[in-house]
């Protein structure tokens, strides 16, 4: 039997349905996390995040890494 639970995202407080008993129907299904993303989320949050916040964190981490690389490149030309 599938276990569904209404949770509140610890980042934005939005309510969402977590479905660990039927992961293919869960709101986070299909969202692949890198090891650094997983580590950041485990260190920062103690429960599941909504799909919107998961996507936002992935975006911010990806572009933060790119931004840092660009700043390093630009610092070479100073």
Give 18-73 pLDDT, tens digit per residue.
888 888 888 888 889 899 998 999 999 999 999 999 999 999 888 887 777 888 88
Burial class (CB in 10 A: 0-12, 13-18, 19+), 68: exposed
Instruction: Give Dmax (Cα) for the chain.
Output: 62
Query: pTM of the full predicted structure?
Result: 0.73
Task: Find all residues with CB under 8 Å of 52, minimum gap 6, and list them.
Answer: 9, 12, 14
Q: Which of 56, 9, 66, 60 is nearest to 31 (CA)?
A: 56
The residue count for the chain: 78
Residue 78 token pair? 């100073």
């Amino acid at each position: 039997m599938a276990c569904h639970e209404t949770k509140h995202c610890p980042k934005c407080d939005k309510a969402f349905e977590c479905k660990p008993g039927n992961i293919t129907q869960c709101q986070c299904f299909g969202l692949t996390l890198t090891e650094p993303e997983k580590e950041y989320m485990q260190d920062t949050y103690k429960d599941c995040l909504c799909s919107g916040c998961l996507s936002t964190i992935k975006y911010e981490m990806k572009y933060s890494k790119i931004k840092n690389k660009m700043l390093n490149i630009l610092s070479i030309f100073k």
